A and B are shown apart, each in its own frame.
With several copies, the nearest count.
Chain A
Amino acid sequence: MADRVTVLFFAALREQIGQDSLSVAIPAGGVSVQVLREQIEKADPAIAQAFAEQPRLRVAVNQTLVTFEQMVNPGDEVAFFPPMTGG
C-alpha cells in the first residue's frame, strides 16, 4: 500500500465536490500542497471546478493554516475550504 494523506473539504467546497474526505496516494518523500492540489484536480473534474470557482481557496495542513508552498508528508491531514466566516 502506497503512502497516503487524508484530504478534507468543508462548507461550499464539500457540497460542490459531493464528498467530505479523500484518501490520496503521494510519494514517500512528500509533495507541496500545490502539487497535491493539481493531482486531485486532475483526478476529479468536480474538484477542479469547485476550486476554480473559489478564488480565495484556503488550505490547512494538520489543522494549521498554511500557504500552497507548504510540504505535505504521508500521514498528514490536508483540508481545503473557503474563507472562514465565523462570529
Chain B
Amino acid sequence: MSVHVRVQAEPFDVGVETARLSVLSSHTGGVGVFVGQVRGGHGLLAMTLEHYPGMTEAALNTLAQEAIARFELTGCTLIHRIGRLQVGAGIVFVGAAAPHRGAALTATSFLIDRLKTGAPFWKREEYANGRTQWVDARETDEDAARAWLLKNP
C-alpha cells in the first residue's frame, strides 16, 4: 500500500504519475486517474492557487488514508499545484490503483470530490478586463463531498 502526496508549483507529468501507480503491485488490474485543469471562458486568463502550508499536506494525507481504509487499493496519489496557472494548465492529479476497476474508479471520484472542499486551497480568478475574484465554494461541490458520508463503500 503506497500513498503519494505532493503540493508543488511545477507541472505534474501524467505519464510518470500513472506509471508510478501501475507498477506498485503485480496485483493491480486498473488505475483510475482524474486531472483537473483551468477551464477557460468568460474572459478568464488564469487562476492563482493559494494554500495553507502544512495543513494542506496533512489534509491530503488524511484523505488518502480515508480512501485506503474505504476501498481495496494498491495505492493512491494526490498532487496539487499552487501559484498562478493559466487556462488549460493542470491543477490537480488524483489517481488510484486497485486489483479491480470498480475500486480504482470509485476511489478516484471519492478523492477528487473530497479534495475540492476538504483541503485548504483557494482560487483567485484573473480576467482579461483586469478584474480579479475569489472563487466561491459551490453548493454542488459541498453536496458531492457530503454524499460520500452516505455511500458504502
A residues near B, CB below 8 A? 8, 10-12, 15, 56, 60, 63-64, 79, 81-87
Is B55 on the interface with A (CB-CB < 8 A)? yes
Distance in angstroms from A62 CB to nearest chain B CB is: 9
Q: Among the listed A8, A15, A64, A86, which residue makes an inter-chain contact with B119, where contact means beta carbons less than 8 Å apart?
A: A86
Distance in angstroms from A4 CB to nearest chain B CB is: 19
Is B115 on the interface with A (CB-CB < 8 A)? yes
A83–B121 Cα distance when bound, in Å, is: 9
**A63 (CB) vs chain B CBs: closest residue:** B55
Decide: A12 near B134, CB < 8 A? Known: A60-B120, A83-B142: yes
Inside 8 A of B123's CB, which chain A residues have their CB? 85-86
B residues near A, CB below 8 A? 36, 49-52, 54-55, 58, 80, 91-92, 101, 112, 115-124, 134-137, 141-142
Inside 8 A of A15's CB, which chain B residues have their CB? 134
Residues of B contacting A: mostly: mixed
Are A10 and B122 in contact (CB-based, < 8 A)?
yes
A82–B51 Cα distance when bound, in Å, is: 12
A15–B123 Cα distance when bound, in Å, is: 13
Inside 8 A of A86's CB, which chain B residues have their CB? 49, 51, 80, 92, 115-123
Are B137 and A87 in contact (CB-based, < 8 A)?
no
28 interchain pairs (CB within 8 A)? A10-B52, A10-B120, A11-B50, A12-B122, A56-B137, A60-B52, A63-B54, A63-B55, A79-B52, A79-B120, A81-B120, A82-B134, A84-B116, A84-B118, A84-B119, A84-B121, A85-B122, A85-B123, A85-B136, A85-B137, A86-B80, A86-B115, A86-B118, A86-B120, A86-B123, A87-B91, A87-B92, A87-B101
A83–B36 Cα distance when bound, in Å, is: 19
Inside 8 A of A11's CB, which chain B residues have their CB? 50, 122, 124, 134
Are B58 and A63 in contact (CB-based, < 8 A)?
yes
**A86 (CB) vs chain B CBs: closest residue:** B121
A10–B120 Cα distance when bound, in Å, is: 9
Are A87 and B142 in contact (CB-based, < 8 A)?
no
